[in-house]
Amino acid sequence: MTRLAGSSKLLRAMNESATLALLLERGTLTRAELRELTGLSKPTTSDVLRTLTGVGFATVIGHTSGGPGPNAEIYAINPSAAHVAALSIRDVTETAHPAVGAALGDLTGNVLARAEYDLEPSDPITTVVSTVEDLCRRAGLDRGAVTHVQLAVPGSYDPAGDTIRHIDVAGWNRPGLVSDLAGRLDTTVGAENDVNLAAIAERHRGVATGTEGFALLWFGAGLGCAIDLGDTLLRGVSGGAGELGYVPVGQSGKDLQDLVGGPAVLALAAEHGYHARTPEAAVAEAVSHVDGRARTPADPFLKELAERIAVALASVAAILDPPLVVLAGEVAQAGGSVLRDLVAEAFHGATPLRTPIAVTALTDDAVLLGALDAGLRAVRDSLIDSLRHALAPA
C-alpha cells in the first residue's frame, strides 16, 4: 500500500483543527469529553491538546471535582489568542449618533473596550488607525494584538474592485482603501454593509435565531435590506444586494428612500404635528400616545408610516418569499409592536402574501454587535485554517 507523503502531518492537522473547532463551539471540555466527541484515542487526544496549548490557542482553566478518580483538566479557548476590532462607520448627515462606534473583543467574544469617536475629515486611514489604537489603549493591549479589523459601512463593499460603493461618507469610496488599511495596520481587514451586519447580529442574538432564513428591513436614517439564506448572506455580484432605497416608486422619479427614509419620516411626522430631531424620536412620541388597550382609531402618523413601510415590505416579500421578515433600525425599534402590528395590517390588506413579520428584539447597536460577530467568525475560521495548512504534503 502506497503511503501518501505528509499523510501523518495531514491527519495531525485535521485532528487539531477539529478539536479547536469543538472548543470554539462548546466553550469548555475535558480531555474525556473531547475524546468522545472526536473519536480519537487517548494518546492522540493528549498530543492534540498539548499542541493547542503549546501554541497558545487553548488553555487549562480548572479541574473537575466530586467524581470518582483523579480530577480532570478542563480545557477552553485562550481568550487572548486573537482580538477583533469592530468599527461602525455612520453617515453623520443622516444620524444623530457620533460618526464611529467601535468595540474591541477577544476570541471568546468578551468585549474589552467600547467607545464612540468623530471622523477625521476625508481621512479614513487616520480614523481607523487612531480608533484601533485608542481601543487597544483602553484594553491595555498593544495594537499588534489585534488580529482582524471589521468595518461596518453605510454602503456596499465590492471585493473584486476593492471599493466601497453607494457610500456618502467623504473619502470612503476610494479604490484600494481596504487593502491600504490592512497594510497600514498589518492585519486582515474586512468591510461589510451595515445592514448585513445587523442581520448577522439578529441571526446570532435576536428573533431570527434558529430560523431557516429571513429578510431584515432596516428603517432608520437610511433604508436597507439584508437577505439571510440560512446563515449565509446574499450580497450580489458587486456587494449591492439589498440596496432597497434605490427601488423606484411609480413613475414619480422618487424611490423608496424618498418614501420611508429618515428625512421622509421626519417630514411625515411634522405633517401630523410631531416635531422631533430624529425620525425615531418622532415615532417614539407617537407610540407613547397610543393606548395599548384600544388602538383604534390608529394614530394617523403611525398608520400612514405603516402603509409606506408595507410598500417596501411587499417589494421584498413578493420577490423573496422569506420565512420571516424582521423590522429593524432605529425607527422600527422606536415603533416596536405598535408599529409592527400596523405594518402587518397594511401589508395583509394590500397583498395576498402572509409573510410572518417580527420586530427586532435587539436594543443595543445591532450593527456594531454584528461587526463583532462577523470579525470573530473570520478570526476563528482563520485559526482553524492555519492548522489545516498542514494539509499540503511535506
Choice among 26-30, 124-128, 268-272, 352-356 with the minimum mean pLDDT: 26-30
**In the predicted model, is pLDDT for residue 71 greater than 70?**
yes
User: What pLDDT is attached to residue 250?
Assistant: 80
Cis omega before residue 297 (within 30°)? yes
**In the predicted model, is pLDDT for residue 3 greater than 60?**
no
Q: Report how far residue 50's alpha carbon sits from residue 379's, in angstroms, rounded to the nearest whole number.
A: 22
- Homologous superfamily of the 81-197+367-382 domain (CATH): ATPase, nucleotide binding domain (3.30.420.40)
Domain 209-361 has CATH 3.30.420.40: yes
User: What pLDDT is attached to residue 298?
Assistant: 74
DSSP structural state of residue 371:
H
- CATH class, domain 7-77, is mainly alpha
Q: Report how far residue 290's alpha carbon sits from residue 284's, in angstroms, rounded to the nearest whole number.
A: 10
- Within 8 A by CB and 6+ apart from 380, the residues are 24, 82, 107
pLDDT tens across 208-256, in order? Answer: 999 999 999 999 988 999 999 998 999 988 888 898 988 998 878 899 9
Q: Report how far residue 123's alpha carbon sits from residue 264's, in angstroms, rounded to the nearest whole number.
A: 30
Phi, psi of 93 (to 5 degrees): -75, -15
Residue 97 confidence class, pLDDT cut points 50, 70, 90: low
**In the predicted model, is pLDDT for residue 5 greater than 80?**
no
Which position has the grid cell 468578551? 110
Domains 81-197+367-382 and 209-361 share a fold: yes
| Nearest in space to 117 (alpha carbons), one of 130, 108, 104 | 130
Domain boundaries, the chain: 7-77, 81-197+367-382, 209-361
Residue 315 confidence class, pLDDT cut points 50, 70, 90: very high
Q: Report how far residue 151's alpha carbon sits from residue 217's, in angstroms, rounded to the nearest whole number.
A: 20
**In the predicted model, is pLDDT for residue 16 greater than 70?**
yes
Give the mean model confidence (pLDDT) for residues 282-289: 94
Q: Report how far residue 59's alpha carbon sits from residue 6's, in angstroms, rounded to the nearest whole number.
A: 28
User: What pLDDT is attached to residue 238?
Assistant: 84
| Nearest in space to 289 (alpha carbons), one of 339, 346, 326 | 339
**In the predicted model, is pLDDT for residue 18 greater than 90?**
no
Residue 8 confidence class, pLDDT cut points 50, 70, 90: confident
pLDDT tens across 99-149, in order? Answer: 899 999 999 999 999 999 988 776 899 999 999 999 999 999 999 999 999
Which position has the grid cell 411587499? 314
The pLDDT mean for the chain works out to 89
Q: Report how far residue 235's alpha carbon sits from residue 393's, in angstroms, rounded to the nearest whole number.
A: 35
